[in-house]
Structure 1
């Protein structure tokens, strides 16, 4: 080439690697990336250069992955249904020295062959770790936490769940993380009330805390968080009972969530505590108070609404609320997400919310009663931008009221389980909501045909458990009309393997739930697994023909 410089072999390889890296970077999932790495060395190098998260689901793939993928910054080992060993973790730690995020374990499967040694490997060789999540590791205890505190100085996010060997010494180790901003403790540990106090005393930089510790008393821990953590923005509590007034000295909260499935004693004086917290945290954007029995009075709810005008999310166990409290909701001009669980409508409050023009994004009215068609119509008309609507077990509306959901054309998620919705109203909704992605219709006895469901042609998730209209002869229509379906639940229906075979046209199907479908013997599931390349999970409740074990 006249006047030009001849391209060397190294220039060509470097250029090719750059082009291939761009191509590989467009791949959507880990399976495709792993497949690309098998093409040739050039493609393997391109995949290795991607600083992307890696999710592994099989021990067999570990040796190959650690050889071909060196630039991993996030490692997810939570998809395993087989026991991992310490040596597996040591292999990963030795190979992925640039890790910033690590997740190990899953809630419903104990990894009881992983010990402190496996976690210590990451503490010693992955000094750049910033986030770690350890779930259901019964043999991982204080030594592992102490090692992490010494080896991972940059760690700012920690999520520990169901690690039963951890004692207060682990809490002492947690207190040594000088950069800790987010902490979640959930499930069974060997922590004590006095040990939990140290978190607020020593971790002054905490911004987000989630505590779900069963029967462990956390009153003193709440007091230490309120006084010792001036940057605390998010506090989430799932507890049996606690003295929430201990939080009255906290003034930095933006999000406050309390959940309990037990009724609390009146001596807890929840009204006083909640009002004190609201007055001290006037910049609250999220207030969620879901305690069994709905113990907050109209006065307490009104106090929260008036004290926190910036609220964007309000979630209440609303069994005892009256129209007086509901009408105060209209003062929250920034409100986007509203949940009123268990509400007994008085006839005016819901209509007022619909008429005030809040423009809600999500609205939940589960287990509500006496809701009239006119109220539902007013709510839909005033919130046409709704993306999420949950009316599970909402009693009162008829087909006329449910048909007005069609006004919300942007809806993505809809739950009408255990309601009086019927075929006519479903067809009306489908005509106005063309892009619905998730639909739940559990125990909908007035729906008589699957054909009314298949008019939602953009569905990605469909749940029709305990619905008598679900039969084999309708599943081919589901496959034909809903080609993007990824998640399907058919629990407690009379479908058989013949019906499941008709779902093989759902090429994007990933998960199937056929719990208590006693006519499913296995052949249909095998056919789906062979035909659908993305299929990876099935939930059963009975033994398949030829299977030695019950599957779940």
Structure 2
């Protein structure tokens, strides 16, 4: 009967709560919001089912907003607060449009009504001040979440398990003490770039005995005493720890971690003050380590020898900017850590082919290898990887000027499972290397070549004929690539992402082939293609309806007419970069803004934007800084 309530009398709270949870678990935010609007009972149950909240809670009423959230959604177990989100949005004025990207903007006039339903994974975006007012440093400083708001959160959401406070500069030990007193079930705490003191960390250790994950990247205001006090109290439960760019960190902290955290599995340390003795303490005390990321200039071979001797379960190892360790230590790791699957070596100048040979022979499970700026390594190193590591899935070589084509003959014949290949500033690599890869690694899905001045069409034709699963292709400043190679790729590989920046031989013909052969393209960078014009944009508009991002900066032949064709066909477009396009005027910018309903970012010269366009689309406009 019309007007009769046939559901509420028949369904108990438990059953209705289960229905709402199932709606939320499916990610149907609008359906969940609709549930909250049915009646007060449904709204109450919907709020009680909420488990996670993402708050960009910066602003003059930030603490009040957090209080309201804590009072209404008492069942929250996961809360994330990131001050950077609102600061960036407010500066650009983009807050009102951010709902499309999963961030809900709530104006003050609506928020005061107190009846707004929110999505299942709650995300609040509170603009810190009216967008038409200038931003002052003084106002920005006091417009952020403080210990008062954190206290409300602690007292209202006592079941909190995961808390992330990123760049919350006004948070101090006082707020953390309240969290420790009320949130005994806390298992994950992220304090990135927060200025806190030792009492806060000590209190967390004393009150949160279940803590498993702790992030202290860029944390200031504390000393070794804070971290030592924390791990002494809850080190037994700690599984993941990240401490980076903290000037206070010394070997004393690492010694305490090694002594009190026997179950630690993930550790990231970046410090100029840590010496070998601290890393040795970690290796001896944390023998369950599976992931280790180090950037410690002061450590040497003794530290890494200890890791190889005492951490046999290690799977992921990243060594960055080591100036003192040599082949000896990496050889020790290779012999002791036979489960290694991921290895990153960045600016390790003293390493040679010999150490990577030991890695290849002993670590047969190696799946991902990244070598960045290790200029002493030559082709022999990769030849060993190709012979002994058949499970390799990803290979990245960045600024490795001594590696030649012969290395890729072994990679192609021995690593048939390879799916991702990045070659950046590898000056000696030519078409021959890519042909070896194409013929042997037919499962390749992502290929990125930057400044490959000796790579041309022959390589692309071989890849097109052999790697039918290729979905992402980057050819930045590969000056020998022309329409012939690109057409072969477009005909055989239905790309999703394509970067042709600086490939100056590409013309409208090549991009026409892409438009007709890659209908699922979502990203295209055609910057610095000086002979590409409106024909290419018209073809892309007709053939790539799923395109979301396009960069066409430094394309002098592109005009307003081409932009018109583009936006009529690419209705999903979210980002457009078009600086230094001399034939694009304010009319073309207005065409893009008015024709793309999903637009989130337009990068253009400020003088090309009319006042009408600025009023209409101010939040999505980004301007090139020409005065620097």
1:416 match: secondary structure: strand
Q: Partner residue of 1:340?
A: 371
C-alpha distance in structure 2 between counterparts of 1:23 and 1:522, whole Å: 49
CA offset at residue 275 of structure 1?
A: 0.7
1:415-437 CA-to-partner distances (Å, cap 9, x unmatched) read 21222333443343244334444
Note the C-alpha offset of 1:92. Answer: 1.9
Between stretches 243-252 and 227-236, larger displacement belongs to 243-252
Q: Which moved more, 1:426-435 or 1:366-375?
A: 426-435
Structure-1 residue corresponding to 2:164:
133
Q: What corresponds to 1:349 in structure 2?
A: 381
The aligned counterpart of 1:62 is: none
TM-score (norm 2): 0.71
Does the 8 A contact of 1:510 with 1:534 survive in 2?
yes
- Contact conserved, 2:601 with 2:622, CA < 8 A, in 1? no
**Please, what TM-score do these two structures have when normalized by structure 1?**
0.80
Residue in 1 aligned with 2:600? 536
Please state how far the C-alpha of 1:332 moved relative to its aligned partner.
0.8
Equivalent pair of 1:97/1:125 in contact (CA under 8 Å):
yes
Cα 1:180/1:383, change in 2 over 3 Å: same
1:256 aligns with 2:292: yes
Superimposed CA distance per residue, residues 215-269 of structure 1 (whole angstroms, 9 cap, x where no aligned partner): 3333211111111111111101123342143232322211111136xxx3xxx45
Deviation at 1:138, TM superposition (A): 1.6
Distance in 2 (CA, whole Å) between partners of 1:24 and 1:208 is: 33
Is this contact kept in 1: 2:35–2:42, CA < 8 A? no
SS in structure 2 of the partner of residue 161 of structure 1: coil
Give secondary structure in 2 for the equivalent of 1:348: helix
Which residue in the other structure is 1:274 paired with? 304
Matched with 2:121 is none
Deviation for aligned residue 1:98: 1.3
- Structure-to-structure mapping, 1:493-532, within 5 angstroms: 499-504=562-567, 505-513=569-577, 527=591
From 87, 97, 114, give the equivalent of 2:64.
87
1:73 equivalent among 51, 65, 70: 51
Match among 294, 298, 314 for residue 327 of structure 2: 298
| Structure 1 residue 445 corresponds to structure 2 residue 479 | yes
- Work out whether residues 109 and 136 of structure 1, in 8 Å CA contact, stay in contact via their aligned partners in 2: no
Residues 103-122 of structure 1 mapped to structure 2, 5 A cutoff: 103-107=80-84, 110=87, 112-122=143-153
Give secondary structure in 2 for the equivalent of 1:206. coil
Q: Indicate the residue corresponding to 2:622 in structure 1.
A: 551
Gaps of 5+ in 2: 88-139, 507-525, 527-531, 624-628
Q: Find the aligned partners of 1:368 and 1:481 in 2 and give their Cα distance.
A: 38
Deviates more, 1:242-251 or 1:469-478: 469-478
* Residues in 2 aligned to 1:117 and 1:392: alpha-carbon distance in whole angstroms: 49
Alignment of 1:170-319 (within 5 A): 170-176=200-206, 177-204=208-235, 205-248=237-280, 249-250=284-285, 251-259=287-295, 264=297, 268-291=298-321, 295-317=324-346, 318-319=348-349
- Higher alpha-carbon deviation: 518-527 or 418-427: 518-527
What secondary structure does 1:385 align onto?
coil
Instruction: Give deviations 1:345-385, integer Å, cap 9, x for gaps.
Output: 53323122212342212111111123222322321332222
Distance 1:333 1:511 in 2: 43
Residue 182 to residue 106, structure 1, CA distance change in 2 (3 Å):
same
Aligned length: 516
Structure ranking higher in helix proportion: 2
Contact 2:472-2:497 at 8 Å conserved across structures: yes
**Deviation digits for residues 279-323 of structure 1 (CA, Å, limit 9, x no counterpart):** 111211111101165x43112111110011111111113543322
Q: The residue matched to 1:77 in structure 2 has which SS?
A: strand
Runs of at least 5 residues in structure 1 that lack an aligned partner in the other structure:
1-6, 50-67
In 1, the alpha carbon distance for the partners of 2:25 and 2:233 equals 44
SS of corresponding position for 1:9: coil
- Which residue is 1:416 aligned to? 449
Q: Shift of the alpha carbon at 1:535?
A: 4.2
Q: Deviations 1:390-445 (Å, cap 9, x if unpaired)?
A: 21222211123224443434334332122233344334324433444443333333
Separation in 2 of the partners of 1:146 and 1:496?
A: 60
Q: Distance in 2 between matches of 1:384 and 1:137?
A: 47
The one of 137, 142, 160 equivalent to 2:173 is 142
Q: What is the Cα-based RMSD across aligned positions, in Å? A: 3.9
Equivalents in 2 of 1:43, 1:424: separation in Å?
67
Report 1 or 2 for greater relative contact order, CA contacts < 8 Å, sequence distance ≥ 6: 2
Structure 2 contact 456–481 (Cα < 8 Å) conserved: yes
Residue in structure 2 matched with residue 9 of structure 1 by the alignment? 6
